[in-house]
Amino acid sequence: MIQLFHVTKRWSDNPPVLDDVTLQVDKGEFVWLTGPSGAGKTTLLRLLFCADEPTSGQIIVGGQNVNRMSPRAVPFLRRNVGVVFQDFKLLQNRTALENVGFALEVLGASDVRIRERAQKRLAQVGLLDRAESLPARMSGGEQQRVAIARALVNEPAILLADEPTGNLDASLTDSILQLLFDANARGATVIVATHDRSLLQRHQRRTIQLQRGKVVADA
Amino acid sequence: MIHVGWRLLRRAATNLWRAPLPSVVAVITIGLALFLGAALAFSIASARALLVSWGAQPSVTAYLDPAVSEEQARSLAERLRSQERVEVVLVTKAAAIDRLRVQLGSLGGALDDLPGNPLPPSLEATLPRGVDPRALAWRISQLPGVREVDYGREWVDRIEALGRALRQFGTAALLLVSFAALLVVANTIRLAVYARREEIDIMKLVGATDAYVRLPFVIEGALQGLCGAIVAIAGLAAVQRFVLPRAAAAFAFASGVPAPHFSSAHCGLLAAAGTVVGLCGSYLAVARFLRA
């Protein structure tokens, strides 16, 4: 599903943020991406959803070589990749339902279909009763659940999460992770970047460890 | 496809409603720019109309040889009328001195002391619109018995030079105002777009194409431009109604023709200009963010 071949990312003359990374993630896998701050976790995820381009190396996502992809094709790749951020990235002037439905709007879905599917996703993350709430009136955990609902509403084949529990307390962390495990159980390939080692110990899955841009462990 | 277009239009209207302050600033900026541009264009057009009216009916006076008899002068006048299709008045030697006597008023008696009448007979031709006084003066000067032709050359030349200068100045000023307006509008809309850069990021993140991201902003820009044009039209209508009547009366008095007025065609032109300026401004503003 995801393949990286000797991928290096460097900003001008600075040391590489990612240094000759080669890895493969199969369809339906759940992978922890871990390492200290500055190890290159976020950069690696950004390369996967084409927010940045690699300095060298090849990246294949869902069978498509992103290096050879035209800028016009990027939005279509992103429709198959759900992304969840630590800071949620929700539109503050839209309700939870509108935020989730936003990802369907760009596909040209009808209003009825958008409403149905957005409500279904909000129900899955336990927030149907908050559908008409604005993000500012929701807790951090609720906002992250809305962000996950938005990432999943298109039923993407790949789900990327960058420190999705970084701003949440322990009790909320487990409920958020459960949503990611559920998505994985439904068939999505999930990569979660985290520096929280306790998560890895509690939920043992394949773990790729990055340090100074290099893969130092993959088990 | 229709529901997508309707949704984008609805979203544009909603965004305008949800963020009224940047929208109001953009509308006022566009309105002011259009008002100033239209007022400038209107002033220049009026000034040109005034000049044209002043220079439109110059007269050509042909002074005849004093030896030309009144019969010959009448024949010349008739020839001019038929050849050039102009109105011609024959001023005989006697009529000329009578006219001078009237003009001199109380000093007119001095003319009685002259040994004879020194004034030549003349033909006064009034030109219809569009006839070049220089060409006509030259043709008249070629007629037999014509000694000198005067068509107020300096006056006509000055008016024409002034008209040319006004046209050049007007074109340059309009270009400058239009360019400045577009810059101001693009920057104002850019600020509004900048305030919503996060929304653009999120739209791109969930897979929106550049066209899909751009369209609501462009629709908003066009709506703001249209609203700005309505503001400008309202301002111009108010000026025309409350400020211009006196100026229009003075114009009519000075030119002899009715003052130009702001018509519904001008309103349509202004509305179209506002919409295009808003559309282009927002397109440029969003394009920059999409490239980033």
Check whether A41 has a pLDDT greater than 80: yes
pLDDT of B286 reads 82
Residue B72, judged by CB atoms within 10 A of its CB (0-12, 13-18, 19+), counts as middle
Sign for the pseudo-dihedral over CA of A64, A67, A68, A71 = positive
Contact A111 B3 (CB under 8 A): yes
What confidence tier does A68 reach under pLDDT thresholds 50, 70, 90? confident
CA distance A16 to chain B (A): 22
State yes or no: pLDDT of A86 exceeds 90.
Answer: no
Is it the case that residue B256 has pLDDT exceeding 90?
no
| Shared domain check, B171 and B269 | yes
> Between these two residues, B150 and B288, which has the higher pLDDT value?
B150
Q: How confident is the model at residue A107 (pLDDT cuts 50, 70, 90)?
A: confident
Q: pLDDT tens across A116-129, in order?
A: 999 999 998 889 99
Instruction: Supply the pLDDT for residue B21.
Output: 80
Q: Identify the contact set of chain A against chain B, taking CB-CB distances under 8 A.
A: 49, 72, 75-79, 83, 89-91, 93, 102-103, 105-108, 110-111, 150, 154
pLDDT single digits (tens) B112-168:
888 888 888 898 888 776 677 778 888 888 888 888 888 766 676 777 777 778 778
d(CA B231, CA B274): 10
Tell me what the mean pLDDT of segment B78-92 comes to: 85
Tell me how far CA of residue A125 lies from CA of A176, A190, B41, B85, in angstroms.
9, 17, 61, 93
- Cβ contacts of B7 on chain A, cutoff 8 Å: 105, 111
If asked whether residues B96 and B166 sit together in one domain, one would say no
- Determine what percent of chain A is predicted with pLDDT higher than 70: 100
Q: How confident is the model at residue B278 (pLDDT cuts 50, 70, 90)?
A: confident
Residue A61 has pLDDT above 70, yes or no: yes
d(CA B266, CA B284) in angstroms, rounded, equals: 27
**pLDDT given for residue A207 in this prediction:** 95
Residue finishing a domain among B151, B172, B204: B151
Q: Which pLDDT does position B258 carry in this prediction?
A: 66
Same domain, B49 and B67: no
Quote the ipTM score: 0.83
Whole-angstrom Cα distance, residue A188 to residue A81?
10
- Secondary structure class of B248 (helix, strand, coil): helix
Domain count, chain B: 2
The residue from B131, B151, B171 where one domain ends is: B151
CATH number, domain A2-218: 3.40.50.300
Q: What is the mean pLDDT of residues B44-48?
A: 75
pLDDT at B56 over 60: no
Most B CBs within 10 Å, among A61, A64, A102, A160, to test the B interface? A102
pLDDT band at B84 (very low <50, low <70, confident <90, very high): confident
Contacts B212 to A, Cβ<8 Å: 75, 106
**What per-residue confidence (pLDDT) applies to B252?**
65
**Same-domain status, B215 and B141:** no
- Inter-chain residue contact B202 with A76, CB threshold 8 Å: no
How many CA within 13 A on the CB side of residue A185?
Answer: 6
Nearest by CB: A103 against B7, B18, B206: B206
Asked if B79 and B47 sit in the same domain, the reply is no
The answer on pLDDT for B44 being more than 80 is no
pLDDT for res B55: 58
In B, minimum Cα distance to A75 occurs at: B207
Under the banding of pLDDT at 50, 70 and 90, the label for residue B264 is: confident
- Structural domain boundaries enclosing B201: 2-54+158-291
Q: How far is A26 from chain B (nearest CA, A)?
A: 23
- Mean pLDDT, range B34-45, rounded to an integer: 82
User: Is the per-residue pLDDT at B99 higher than 60?
Assistant: yes
Domain ranges of chain A: 2-218
Residue after which a domain boundary falls, among B113, B129, B151: B151
Does B16 have pLDDT greater than 80?
A: no
**B175 and B261 belong to one structural domain:** yes
**Taking CB atoms and an 8 Å cutoff, what residues of chain A touch B211?**
none
> pLDDT band at residue B47, thresholds of 50, 70 and 90?
confident
Q: What span, in angstroms and rounded, lies between the C-alpha atoms of A183 and A161?
A: 12
CA distance B243 to B264: 19
Average pLDDT, stretch B59-75?
86
Average pLDDT over residues B33-50: 80
- Provide the pLDDT for residue B254: 65
Reported as a pLDDT band with limits 50, 70 and 90, residue B30 is: confident
Asked if residues A81 and A61 have their Cβ atoms less than 8 Å apart, the reply is yes
Shared domain check, B267 and B187 = yes
**Residue B84 is part of a domain; what is its CATH number?**
3.30.70.3040
Extract long-range pairs of B15-19: CB within 8 Å, 24+ residues apart.
B15/B196, B15/B216, B15/B220, B16/B220, B16/B223, B16/B224, B18/A93, B19/B192, B19/B195, B19/B196
Sheet holding A206-211, edge to edge: A81-84, A158-162, A189-194, A30-34, A206-211, A214-218
A106: closest chain B residue by CA: B208
Per residue in A179-196, pLDDT tens?
899 999 999 999 999 988
